[in-house]
Structure 1
């Protein structure tokens, strides 16, 4: 990769000198971890010590196609790291390793790619995980939309820990760690075609350091999910259906920023169905709810944590309901399609 090159060309994916220059000069320079520097076709990871940390491996994979690539509070690189780590964290796993595969459209500015890769490397460094292997493909103009990233994460689940979307019980409490819908609202505002302005930022963040202390000290945690596509309403509907219970939220307890609420009212959207990228929903035994809340309040990502509802045993289970300020309840169902495509 030379300073004269300003954009990605098909040569960067052809297996020759241009591709090796891109890999060595950009990806290896940014990520720079030993398994990558060995330049093998696979990452070679030590097994020693893993059994002492847990009794199961957790594996997850995710693809990121967000538009625009950069938005207030994050970008596709940071999102690819945090989103995959959060899928591990809500299963109780301690994240260890990531892979990263890039599908790049011909013509992508190299300066933009450098920023996104640098953001990805910084997010991994801050989260304490290693990017150990990867892949790069370049496709012709019009065959993709600038850049897509796929990441796979590996973690270790501590012995004796068992979380399940089907484990919610009547009487349990529902907690979240922050504001609802920030990511979806921020990405909407960043899309030029909407012609809207605002000061919202995505909540994109890696949640494992928020979650692990609660799991270590509160044996009553039943379910954990990160509220991404489909938002908080989507994951709680999933929990209610899998557990054959009703989950009832108090609308007055939901932390929604006024800007997000105003945007949703303008566009006719439901805030609880907007995507988040730094919001965890936890169902926990009632006697440990306050302890878990205090642990979250002590963490920077949990300063705005709240208990927002409870699990009930209804006549017709498998639903999410919201109790309004005047005592009336309404059902919140997941729509057939997405409120907003290309959100992550």
Structure 2
């Protein structure tokens, strides 16, 4: 009891040690001085083994639950870091299912020797991203492994959200005639991380599009309530999402190469490396299947919003060939866009 009543303090030293994962005072100081300082609220400050959330937080509709792990290299990259990425990635998995994020967990695996300054920066970034997304980090876990047993820091986040009554989004609901819409330019996250690794010797101003998508999705659903499906295009890029749509609904997703929104920087990097931007990872881009009569209203409401300025229609859903993605090229020919084989860039998220 005396320990529980002791004043909270931060961790000693400048780097993570194995003692910080041993469950004793050093671990408590790490949690108090870094994670509680960043995420502090009445629920998490109680330091129970579970978060307790009132059912009123879920508004009487459905409950969405997701989890994800993040191992990105480098940990800090232009436009974000592993902490912001973890929060945005988990939140976005909720919102593209129609949910409004309520609460997140934060579990970390730390390598001995990780500078505490880096850990503080990551925790603060997670807290800021959660606030931006309108949710809270309410529970978590910390483990420390010896030097060489991990690569600095791995993060796992789980999230729960409320689904308003009557809202139903699923790839199986996509129908021929739907417009295929994206909210932003393709490939920013993958290109920015690739350049940040320094292996290419390229100097670019590329930044990741890492952002929470909740405000954009809510605006879309207000303007186009008949929207059938939304999915965020992370690993595997837009091509993977379109293939998932086509397979789930038994339809064909037809896109036009000249409609794909690309920045010159992403286009140039892709050409130099022989990569297809359709497969590059994004962390602030979704693909939506919207009924044709609602498509223009959806685009009009997205374009004035942060992260929506480049919103556009990239194609249309048709009936055949079922289960396929077909792209019309700049020159008028057609080619199949298959699922990605392997991984263009390991540890992208």
Corresponding residue for residue 323 of structure 2: 318
Corresponding residue for residue 265 of structure 1: 271
Task: List aligned pairs for 1:1-344, cutoff 5 A.
Answer: 5-48=13-56, 50=58, 53-314=59-320, 316-344=321-349
How many residues are matched? Answer: 341
- Quote the Cα distance in structure 2 between the aligned partners of 1:3 and 1:138: 14
- Quote the Cα distance in structure 2 between the aligned partners of 1:49 and 1:104: 32
- Quote the Cα distance in structure 1 between the aligned partners of 2:95 and 2:82: 20
Q: Secondary structure at the match of 1:99?
A: strand
- Quote the Cα distance in structure 2 between the aligned partners of 1:296 and 1:70: 29
Q: TM-score if structure 2 supplies the norm length?
A: 0.95
Shift of 1:215: 1.5
Shift of 1:262: 1.2
- Quote the Cα distance in structure 1 between the aligned partners of 2:295 and 2:143: 47
- Unpaired runs of 5+ residues, structure 2, are 1-8
Which digits, 9 at most, give the CA deviation of each residue in 1:14-70, with x for residues without a partner?
A: 1111111101111101111211101111111111353xx242100000000000000
Root mean square deviation, CA, Å: 1.2
Q: Secondary structure at the match of 1:210?
A: helix
- Unpaired runs of 5+ residues, structure 1, are none
Shift of 1:298: 2.6
Q: Secondary structure at the match of 2:173?
A: coil
Which digits, 9 at most, give the CA deviation of each residue in 1:218-262, with x for residues without a partner?
A: 222011000000000010111011111111111111111111111
Shift of 1:142: 1.1
Corresponding residue for residue 6 of structure 2: none
Shift of 1:2: 5.8
- Quote the Cα distance in structure 2 between the aligned partners of 1:190 and 1:54: 44
- Quote the Cα distance in structure 2 between the aligned partners of 1:248 and 1:2: 55
- Quote the Cα distance in structure 2 between the aligned partners of 1:20 and 1:31: 15
Q: Secondary structure at the match of 2:217?
A: helix
